[in-house]
Amino acid sequence: MSIGIKISLNPKLYLRDPQETMLGRKIIKHSIIQIDKLGFEAFTFKKLGCCMQSTEASVYRYFENKHFLLIYLLAWYWEWLNYLIDINTKNIESPEKKLQIIIETLVDANQENPAIEYVNESILHRVVIAEGTKAYHTKEVDKDNKDGLFSNFKALSEKIAGVIEEVNSEFPYPHALASNLIEMANNHSYYAMHLPRMTDIKIENNSYEQVKNMLSFFTGKLLDS
């Protein structure tokens, strides 16, 4: 009885599919809010259970531990971006135009509004910016990668790399530029807020316009043949 889109994710990410049950969807919803509020380090399943009128033990039935829950939320986010990019670039022929739309989607993901009530994309976007790289900066990175836990992230990156190759097939670093675009979109939004001297970007009236302009400028220069 779920309405709207169901994002399909690697079953190794969870013990029981949280999108399938009411409790599971509550876990997704409240974990996003709590991680944003407390930061990933201070976030615990006990606090989560408590704030959603449930118990620690119930949360453990869905996710092995908070690390898997984080990877799950990120996978959800990347898959959703993938889907947005597919929609937004539909019927667009020009690869330059496509890349421009990709940049806008990467930076402004939080603005869009799909019909999934248990995910607040705007808060999730903040979580991805602040906690995203912790998913793969662990000692388990190779095992997790082998299990396909980062496949949505890599798929998004490869999709962007493909468009980069369409724009300029001579460009020698399409994959690196693709992952760098994703990283920069997030990093410079974070820098602008917390370490302003690490960037030239300013975020004015809650608008990330300058981040978009910078990424366009970079790709334009780099892919110019």
Partner DNA sequence: AAAGAATGATAGTAATACTATTACAAAATG
Partner DNA sequence: CATTTTGTAATAGTATTACTATCATTCTTT
- Kindly state the smallest distance separating residue 156's Cβ from a second copy, in Å: 10
- Cβ–Cβ under 8 Å, residues 51 and 44: no
Mapped onto helix, strand or coil, the DSSP state of residue 169 is coil
Q: Which of 7, 23, 193, 222 binds DNA (CB under 7 A)?
A: 23
Q: Which of 44, 120, 122, 145 binds DNA (CB under 7 A)?
A: 44
Q: Which stretch binds DNA (CB under 7 A): 45-53, 167-175, 177-185, 199-207?
A: 45-53
146: Cβ–Cβ under 8 A, 6 or more apart, which residues? none
- Kindly state the smallest distance separating residue 197's Cβ from a second copy, in Å: 5
Q: Dihedral angle at the C-alpha atoms of 87, 120, 13, 8, nearest 10 degrees?
A: -30
122: Cβ–Cβ under 8 A, 6 or more apart, which residues? 110, 111
**CB-wise, 17 or 108, nearer to DNA?**
17
**CB-wise, 56 or 142, nearer to DNA?**
56
**CB-wise, 60 or 217, nearer to a second copy?**
217
Half-sphere exposure of 178 (CA within 13 A, CB side): 20
65 binding partner (options a second copy, DNA, none; Cβ < 5 to 8 Å by kind):
DNA
Q: Which stretch binds DNA (CB under 7 A): 5-13, 19-27, 131-139, 142-150?
A: 19-27
Q: Dihedral angle at the C-alpha atoms of 6, 12, 13, 19, nearest 10 degrees?
A: 30
Q: Which stretch binds DNA (CB under 7 A): 14-22, 139-147, 186-194, 217-225?
A: 14-22
**CB-wise, 16 or 143, nearer to a second copy?**
143
- Kindly state the smallest distance separating residue 118's Cβ from DNA, in Å: 13
Using rule CB under 7 A, residue 61 touches DNA: yes
Cα 83 to Cα 98: distance, rounded to the nearest angstrom: 14
Q: Which stretch binds DNA (CB under 7 A): 44-52, 96-104, 169-177, 183-191?
A: 44-52
**CB-wise, 49 or 174, nearer to a second copy?**
174
Cα 55 to Cα 37: distance, rounded to the nearest angstrom: 19
Cα 111 to Cα 21: distance, rounded to the nearest angstrom: 27
